[in-house]
Amino acid sequence: MRKLPAPDPIAGLASTSAFLTFHLLESLSQSQACDSTPSIKVKKEDEMEISLNIEGMTCGGCKAAVERILLAQPGISMASVDLANGSAIVTAGTGTAPQTVADALTAAGYTARVQN
């Protein structure tokens, strides 16, 4: 969470509400990039995030395997796998098809669904 500078109460209120709106929209639809808020996420313009629900991970070895599979997909620059929640967030080029990423995991035995 970044700190919002609020030198003027009205401007501070406006930017806080824009910030919250952005996060609400973002959690509703992780796939939609928001061009008007460039400073909130360190993400290149031609990149997007893909949220995946992954079934079948039971240990750290599974987590490592899922990470390896994700990072081996073309266009994927970053993969953060959450073993406990059975999920992953992937940073990929906008040319990457989210379903192809999920299919690669499913083919390896980890049933994956695109969340966004």
φ/ψ bin of 41: left (φ > 0), alpha (ψ from -120 to 50), beta (otherwise): beta
Please report whether residue 36 would count as binding Cu ion according to CB under 5 A: no
Which tokens hold the place of 29?
Answer: 């639809």
Q: Which stretch binds Cu ion (CB under 5 A): 24-32, 34-42, 57-65, 95-103?
A: 57-65
* 109 touches Cu ion (CB under 5 A): no
Q: Is 61 a binder of Cu ion (CB under 5 A)?
A: yes
Q: Give CA–CA dist 38/108, Å, rounded.
A: 36
84 binds Cu ion per the rule CB under 5 A: no
Instruction: Please give the residue ranges that form the binding site for Cu ion (CB under 5 A).
Output: 58-59, 61-62
